[in-house]
Structure 1
């Protein structure tokens, strides 16, 4: 009975924002829900970064926010005909019920990004992101290729799988794509024909560093296909990331499928990756990483989320594994203010490769955006 009371209290905590008023972050589920590419709402073809004029002036205030403000027509991120801006500020509070983890209960400024876009002409633009760390994405984007194709060069996140905003999901964090290690210097070429997308990028493989220290490049390949069957929206794709590691003759390969299904208020996204690393002793090691998210939009601006993550550092041996179950709520009270909560339960199966123990964590995020 005590367990049920504690569980009910934490469930209510995770849904608390619904009693107040969804955060329009770089969420791939919006692309899945509308059956569209990320480019519809973001400057970056891979998603993330500054929201497009369509998103900031129409989609967010008219469809995603709880209500449309009376002065919605005044929303204008354009400073002039060439320069546009955007902002993302996220403040996180984490709470751990377990006494052993109380030292991790704190407030954390997880994001503070200012985006500036310079539209050089109809097909070429320059993008600058100033972040809390002082080093964000900086790249040029030129739509000069057929089939909606583009050339992108600078420092940015390689296109791989779903670019979940929650970087604690294992396909981001355990795969090495959690900020700031997700940024790399490179060149990417992409094609965006109707209902599909394909990108190929060559990077330093420096893992968030400004300079390459080992002269061993990395390769990122991502393909995606989308279709609509009546009210059902489907998406299926696969990614591959390969890099040579510091030790001569050793490499890291990461890849796997990702998919999405949307029907009415329900949207599901899933990704499964295998990571193969060469080891100095004992031969190669293959890890399994999987993340799933199910979102139920209760009404405009209000949504519930359920997450599942799984990580096995060595799928060929009994070396331990860990799972996460999570539920939460998101609300976008206005086009500029979002609140989200998440209650997570981590279940660890200890082994030689997993030293973690079971624990619970509650998070509350305030998101200010423009």
Structure 2
């Protein structure tokens, strides 16, 4: 543990001598919405022109502003493109060993096509996760509301770009995964084929509802249903708030009986942003998810502080209780780290992860993630 702590201190010093882009923390801090930077109205994936320019010019310590080198995320006037490349270096310790390894995480490419002012198409393919998304967005409802149809990730809770949060997918089989579930269903490859409707009730109220099939098999189960309401009011010119809730009903495979559990999942979330500080929190309950006739809970609290342009400190607390009927099965941890943007479209995330459920067990870890986006 001492060696890991020393290594993290070195990373901290490097960071100090060298605005974070994270959904939805940045939008909260600036008082914006997901649609301000993304083609997808509920956030994530392909960046629109405003989001691309912001990522190029406003996030990094040094930006590529050479007038003789022209850059754009557009082909012509109605075709856009983008990418996200992620990899990471992992170090984990146990009572007897220290192990390290490299992981390829994501290699997503995006293409967007505007067929008219009201209708857009978006396609994503991840060559590592082998995930396909493709859908049309028709902005034909009142007040810029839309209907989306195709294959996409449903809008539930806070869409963290770090899927290891227990409110998303947890460790997903990495680091100290025990073989049992250590997070919710929202893995990097989770998509549904269906329809979503979104309505902007007012300038600060956004409601979505979707129905879809998360499986390749047809007629295996009833479809999944998801709904979310997000409010983003502001107090004065500098204080921004976010609060809301989500609901999902889906059929989850029961490997003991061979059938499917009917899972009802509820989330409540809130956030606070002012100047260079933001605070996010989310609490999720799921009935009949891990153990039948029991309740699973997940909690995430994240605080961030912008030190200088291109350098941000982030601390997060995660907790996961697979079943309220079992004892000593809870997982909890604290994650301390930095998000460093040394140059346009490049992000480096060093993190130190402290497992808390059993202090007598040596199982902390270091994660250094690199992210290239466009």
Change (3 A) 1:21 1:212: farther
Query: For residue 26 of structure 2, what is the aligned residue in structure 1?
Result: 30
- Compute the TM-score of the two structures, normalised by the length of structure 2: 0.87
Q: CA deviation at 1:136?
A: 2.3
Q: CA deviation at 1:6?
A: 4.9
Query: For residue 314 of structure 1, what is the aligned residue in structure 2?
Result: 323
SS of the residue 2:131 aligns to: coil
- Provide the alpha-carbon RMSD of the alignment: 2.4
For residues 20-77 of structure 1, give each alpha carbon's deviation from its aligned partner in whole angstroms, at most 9, with x where no partner exists: 63763x52101111121111111111211011100112x2233212133332782311
For residues 225-264 of structure 1, give each alpha carbon's deviation from its aligned partner in whole angstroms, at most 9, with x where no partner exists: 1111122111100001111345668410111211110122
Contact 1:236 1:258 (8 Å CA) reproduced: yes
Find 1:130's aligned residue among 118, 121, 125.
125
Find 1:272's aligned residue among 283, 286, 301.
283
Query: For residue 63 of structure 1, what is the aligned residue in structure 2?
Result: 58
Find 1:81's aligned residue among 69, 77, 85.
77
Aligned partners of 1:46, 1:136: CA distance in 2, in Å? 18
Q: Does 1:177 align with 2:186?
A: yes
Query: For residue 250 of structure 2, what is the aligned residue in structure 1?
Result: 243
Contact 2:240 2:274 (8 Å CA) reproduced: yes
Q: CA deviation at 1:360?
A: 0.8
Aligned partners of 1:64, 1:218: CA distance in 2, in Å? 37
For residues 317-339 of structure 1, give each alpha carbon's deviation from its aligned partner in whole angstroms, at most 9, with x where no partner exists: 42521101010001111222111
Question: Which stretches in structure 2 are left out of the alignment for 5+ residues?
Answer: 170-182
Query: For residue 288 of structure 1, what is the aligned residue in structure 2?
Result: 297
Find 2:144's aligned residue among 140, 148, 152.
148
The alignment of Structure 1 onto Structure 2 pairs a total of residues equal to 353
Q: Does 1:18 align with 2:15?
A: yes
Find 2:310's aligned residue among 301, 308, 327.
301
Contact 1:14 1:362 (8 Å CA) reproduced: no
Question: Which stretches in structure 1 are left out of the alignment for 5+ residues?
Answer: 351-356
Aligned partners of 2:155, 2:47: CA distance in 1, in Å? 18
SS of the residue 1:68 aligns to: coil
Structure number having the greater helix percentage: 1
Contact 1:61 1:67 (8 Å CA) reproduced: no
Change (3 A) 1:94 1:229: same
Query: For residue 353 of structure 1, what is the aligned residue in structure 2?
Result: none
